[in-house]
Structure 1
């Protein structure tokens, strides 16, 4: 037996009974199937609804299936909780009216964090370096939409083929476009920092990692094996890779997720029949953090149903999916994946921080804390937002090894090609003045003679 959805659901159910959220008055039966691939999710969802009388869904885990199932759930008035699907368009609750999402890696969360960071440092002109991968393309489209409404100008979007070497990046001559147009560069080639190792190497070889440049690296996806790419599995540093990332900025989770991964693994081993070998085998197939989110998705649903029954006094209120969805809005609880904060559209508010790759430190150095705060007098159903804003607080003073301790500007003082510091005209004028003065002096001397 390997780790699977049913194992986690049973663990979550036992936890809910232990914590008194489930009791004799509130119980449910779990049904689990694999719901991704060839629209199996749509087929199984229809079977569950029409033949098995299922009244709530958790998953499916893939966005393509989620899009279709979420629309069906809206028609059926069934609550649906997504625990992995991260595409930004799924936050549109005018379409997906009964969908709540508890994923910690939703693209709308990371884009909000990056926008807040750019504003914090006064950067309004950026370029994007990315690849043709499907993962990167989806996230970059979210960045483009978010930047457009926040008056952040994308000067250049440079797209490279997948899996290029550093030498191929240089040979493509596309780095020149970045050099000639921008100094603040968002680098996103996939879900992990490891996806941009060769690009950062090319940047280093081309001398584009000096005081004028800043590279922002969103880290989208973590599992229990995730570490910065300059760490080897046995815990030693690869200096050549580390130096390529030096002085870059990483936007990542607060660190809670890594602790939660380890704690959850220990809990699985303690509370199930799985052993270390089973767990290792499972982790080769999927990420552990999706199981944490699945666990918390079930807890969110039970909290919402319990709250709905208590407030309405109706035992069958769980049949009203839209009503249950409303009770998932603005909910907070402690989950196995860390603090769970749901916004006013039943979307999880992720907890991010900003880290600096310090040349003098092996580990990432936290420089900015990002705190989500609820906006006063805000109703997400009226203004179609989550009613949360990102507030940034500097916590890493004195870490910048740049000239005069200042971060790069989005526009160099001398211009991108040095044109603003070209003194040819001034030199020519000065030479002309000197020639005129010498000529006048010569004439006066001759006249005096």
Structure 2
């Protein structure tokens, strides 16, 4: 975090005009505390654990954020009249603990009852306690939001089925943003360990909250090819390049898209006759000049309330500089094959 603050200060002292990044949430927050004072625009494709960027007037974030995810889920629960929620989550994971804190606050703001059960998943070995945890939760709510990863999630859900909670009276909700856990292989029902049939029945009562999957779109596939071609070119010219192709993930696409947005905003400003970053106006009497602040606002506002088709999907930016992310809820479409499909798209 302190490195990010120092690098932001160095960037300003070196007369940099825009910062791209950081990706890490803590680094993004630290850097933009400084950049807000210096009136330097910044763009990022990460920093998703900050609920809103409204406190950073020169920041544009092209990734999803926890607030958007939970607002989508709360609209869904409201539609079904669910008000008593049981939260079981990994308290040892910084990401999950932060996401849970955001969700808990929203639930309580909406007047919903929350029964909270933190689990230290890293060192969890008391599997005999799982039925008790689930039964205690069942006395406080019928909707379980389980934010655990990997096989521990599968064990909790399968145990719920074993103790009679798979009769349709209870709803189980999980989060798998990148189709790696329940919708991938890390926490899917199918593990070929002798418990697959039981797990598949348990998963038939599961709803999975996820980002809209755009990996099969023509735009994203072309982006993957372009990334691979760039690496091939570096290898041909003996430049440093990774030995294997990297996984082209959501964040790579989000960073690509926010840089494209920035380039468009700067081009529009130039076409409109805006003088770009007159360095003599950076400081006056030890303070950032009004000219610099006006220019930063000009560029930043061109990144607000815009939409376009990016490699990470359709990009909608709101008035605060946050992306409005397309979300989906998956459910088990075929209990025979155990395949999941999109049930709700927003």
Give your verdict on TM over 0.5: yes
Whole-angstrom CA distance in 2 between matches of 1:230 and 1:48: 45
1:108-132: per-residue Cα shift (whole Å, max 9, x none)?
A: 1211111111012121221111121
What does residue 286 of structure 2 align with?
Answer: none
What does residue 118 of structure 1 align with?
Answer: 77
Tell me which stretches of 4 or more aligned residues in structure 1 moved more than 6 Å.
Answer: 223-226, 231-234
Instruction: Measure how far apart 1:165 and its partner are.
Output: 5.5
Whole-angstrom CA distance in 2 between matches of 1:322 and 1:100: 12
What does residue 39 of structure 1 align with?
Answer: 2
Distance 1:208 1:226, change over 3 A: closer
Contiguous gaps of at least 5 residues in structure 2? 236-240, 279-291
Distance 1:279 1:199, change over 3 A: farther
Instruction: Measure how far apart 1:92 and its partner are.
Output: 4.3
Instruction: State whether residues 230 and 239 of structure 1, in contact with CA within 8 Å, keep that contact through their aligned partners in structure 2.
Output: no
Distance 1:225 1:353, change over 3 A: closer
What does residue 69 of structure 1 align with?
Answer: 31
Match of 1:216 among 173, 176, 180: 173
Q: RCO greater where, 1 or 2, for CA within 8 Å and sep 6 or more?
A: 2
Contiguous gaps of at least 5 residues in structure 1? 1-37, 371-449
Q: Does 1:365 align with 2:341?
A: yes
Instruction: Measure how far apart 1:166 and its partner are.
Output: 8.0
Distance 1:144 1:92, change over 3 A: same
Instruction: Measure how far apart 1:345 and its partner are.
Output: 0.9
Instruction: Measure how far apart 1:240 and its partner are.
Output: 4.8
Instruction: State whether residues 204 and 244 of structure 1, in contact with CA within 8 Å, keep that contact through their aligned partners in structure 2.
Output: yes
Q: Quick check: which has more Rg, 1 or 2? A: 1
Instruction: State whether residues 166 and 201 of structure 1, in contact with CA within 8 Å, keep that contact through their aligned partners in structure 2.
Output: no
Instruction: Measure how far apart 1:233 and its partner are.
Output: 10
1:383-416: per-residue Cα shift (whole Å, max 9, x none)?
A: xxxxxxxxxxxxxxxxxxxxxxxxxxxxxxxxxx
1:412-448: per-residue Cα shift (whole Å, max 9, x none)?
A: xxxxxxxxxxxxxxxxxxxxxxxxxxxxxxxxxxxxx
Correspondence 1:289-438 to 2 at 5 A: 289-311=250-272, 313-316=273-276, 320-358=295-333, 359-370=335-346
Distance 1:194 1:369, change over 3 A: farther
Q: Which moved more, 1:180-189 or 1:204-213?
A: 204-213
1:30-59: per-residue Cα shift (whole Å, max 9, x none)?
A: xxxxxxxx52222222212202x2111111
1:71-95: per-residue Cα shift (whole Å, max 9, x none)?
A: 1111111111121111234x142x3
Correspondence 1:98-177 to 2 at 5 A: 98-104=58-64, 106-132=65-91, 133-154=93-114, 156-163=115-122, 164=124, 167-170=127-130, 173-177=132-136
Instruction: Measure how far apart 1:161 and its partner are.
Output: 1.7
Whole-angstrom CA distance in 2 between matches of 1:160 and 1:255: 29
Instruction: State whether residues 87 and 146 of structure 2, in contact with CA within 8 Å, keep that contact through their aligned partners in structure 1.
Output: yes
Whole-angstrom CA distance in 2 between matches of 1:305 and 1:349: 22
Give the 3-state SS of the residue equivalent to 2:339 in structure 1: coil
Match of 1:49 among 12, 29, 39: 12
Instruction: Measure how far apart 1:331 and its partner are.
Output: 0.8
Number of residue pairs aligned between Structure 1 and Structure 2: 318
RMSD (Å) for aligned C-alpha atoms: 3.0
Distance 1:355 1:232, change over 3 A: closer
1:199-254: per-residue Cα shift (whole Å, max 9, x none)?
A: 212222322222100011122345799715337799xx954543332221111122
